């Protein structure tokens, strides 16, 4: 079976919680908010998370962290850097 035709793998909330260093309830909240893809599977039905969605979630978190860092960098830039002066005053 090729990789594109392989069935999607699902993992338990506890496995995702351990990987992300979260509580199981927090992982369930991420599923319910749509940040992780999950489904109730098995008998009795238990929540499972699509393994691929964990990687996508981590990618999104990294990108958000990168954007926040860039924003903080721009906010914290000193005025002399922005205006080219050494006194920190805005040119008239």
Task: Show the domain range for 77.
Answer: 8-83
Domain membership flag for residue 54: yes
Domain membership flag for residue 3: no
Mean pLDDT of 39-44: 91
Total count of domains within the chain: 1
pLDDT at 12: 95
Domain membership flag for residue 44: yes
What is the per-residue burial (b if ≥16 Cβ within 10 Å, else e) of 45-54? eebbbbeebb
Domain membership flag for residue 62: yes
Domain membership flag for residue 20: yes
Domain membership flag for residue 66: yes
pLDDT at 36: 96
Domain membership flag for residue 57: yes
Domain membership flag for residue 88: no
pLDDT at 73: 78
Mean pLDDT of 18-41: 95
């Amino acid at each position: 079976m090729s990789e594109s035709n392989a069935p999607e793998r699902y993992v338990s909330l506890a496995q995702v919680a351990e990987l992300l260093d979260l509580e199981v309830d927090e992982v369930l909240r991420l599923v319910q908010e749509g940040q992780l893809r999950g489904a109730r599977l098995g008998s009795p039905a238990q929540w499972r998370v699509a393994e691929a969605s964990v990687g996508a979630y981590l990618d999104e978190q990294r990108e958000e962290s990168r954007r926040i860092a860039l924003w903080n960098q721009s906010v914290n830039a000193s005025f002399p850097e922005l205006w080219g002066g050494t006194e920190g005053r805005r040119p008239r």
